[in-house]
Amino acid sequence: MTFYQSKGYKQVYDIFISKFYDIGLKIGLTPNGENVLRTSVFKSVSPYIKKGDRILDLCCGTGTLTILLTKLLHKNCKIIGVDLSSGQIAKAQKKNRYSNLKFAIMDANDLLFPNDYFNQVVISAALHEMNKKQRLNVLSEIHRVLKKGGILLILEHHEPLKASLRILYNFYLGFIEKITSHSFEMQRNILKELNKMGFNILRQTPIKNFLNFFQIILSKK
C-alpha cells in the first residue's frame, strides 16, 4: 500500500488539505482559471446528459465541480459526489443547496452502487494520485457502475505540447511530483488502461487555456 491509499493519506486530507483545499485551488489556478477548468468539464459532458440521468462525481473532493454540474444541469438529474475523505465530504455537504445532489464518504475501490447504475461518471484530478493497481481497480469499478453506453469523463494532468515547456514539466513530474503522485506514469498509460478495462475512447483533448497542462478524456462503456 502506498501513502496515497493509506490511512495517513486520508488523514492528511481529513485534517489538513480539506481546510485549505478550496482557497488553495483559487490561489494556484486563480478563481477564473479554476472556473475555466470546471466549466470545460461541464461543456464536454453535458451533450451526453438527458433529463433524469444519474451522474457520479467520483473522488469529488469538496464538491466544487459536483455543485457546478448540479447548478447547470437538468433539475431532475440525480447527482452524487463521493470521496474517501470525511473532511472533504463535510466541506462539500456544507456548500450543497440542492435537493437532487447528495454527497457520501466512499472508497472508489469499492463503490456501494449496483451494476449499470449511472449514465455518466466524472473523475477530476484524482487518478494521478493512484498507482497502477489502484487505478485499474477504480476503472473497473467505474465500468461496473456505468450503464452500457454510459460516458466516463476524466479531467487530468497533461504534458504541455511545446518542447521547451515539456522538458521543464517532465523534470518537475519525474523528480518532484513523483514524490507526491503517480501523474507521470498515469499520463503514459491511461489510454491503454481504459481500453483494457473495456472503455472506447471518444476523444482526448488538452485544455488550451492552461498551456495544455490539463486534459479531458471522454470514453464510453
Ligand X SMILES: C[S@@+](CC[C@H](N)C(=O)[O-])C[C@H]1O[C@@H](n2cnc3c(N)ncnc32)[C@H](O)[C@@H]1O
Min separation Cβ 134 and ligand X, Å: 7
Min separation Cβ 162 and ligand X, Å: 25
The DSSP element (H or E) to which 29 belongs, if any, is helix 18-29
Q: Is 45 within 8 Å of 36 (Cβ atoms)?
A: no
Question: What would the x/- binding string for ligand X be over residues 44 to 63, using CB under 6 A?
Answer: ---------------xxx--
* Site membership for ligand X, residue 40 (CB under 6 A): no
Out of 26, 96, 107, 170, the residue judged to bind ligand X by CB under 6 A: 107
* Residue 214 CB contacts under 8 Å (≥ 6 apart), including other chains: 37, 155, 156, 157, 158, 206, 207
Out of 53, 129, 141, 159, the residue judged to bind ligand X by CB under 6 A: 129
C-alpha cell at 64: 466544487
How far is it, in rounded angstroms, from Cα 26 to Cα 28?
6
Min separation Cβ 60 and ligand X, Å: 5
Say which amino acid occupies 146: L
Which C-beta is closer to ligand X: that of 26 or that of 220?
A: 26
Question: By CB under 6 A, which span of 106-114, 145-153, 176-184, 208-216 interacts with ligand X?
Answer: 106-114
3-state secondary structure of 34: helix
Out of 49, 126, 154, 173, the residue judged to bind ligand X by CB under 6 A: 126
3-state secondary structure of 165: helix
Which C-beta is closer to ligand X: that of 4 or that of 199?
A: 4
Q: Is 66 within 8 Å of 60 (Cβ atoms)?
A: yes
Out of 79, 84, 145, 146, the residue judged to bind ligand X by CB under 6 A: 84
Min separation Cβ 52 and ligand X, Å: 24
Which C-beta is closer to ligand X: that of 133 or that of 188?
A: 133
Question: By CB under 6 A, which span of 84-92, 113-121, 144-152, 185-193 interacts with ligand X?
Answer: 84-92
Which C-beta is closer to ligand X: that of 46 or that of 52?
A: 46
How far is it, in rounded angstroms, from Cα 76 to Cα 119?
13
C-alpha cell at 41: 468539464
Q: Which residues of 72-82 are buried (b: 16+ CB within 10 A; e: fewer)?
A: ebeeebebbbb
Min separation Cβ 138 and ligand X, Å: 7
Instruction: Give me the residue label for grid cell 493512484.
Output: 130
Residues engaged in binding ligand X (CB under 6 A): 13, 59-61, 64-65, 83-85, 88, 107-109, 124-126, 129
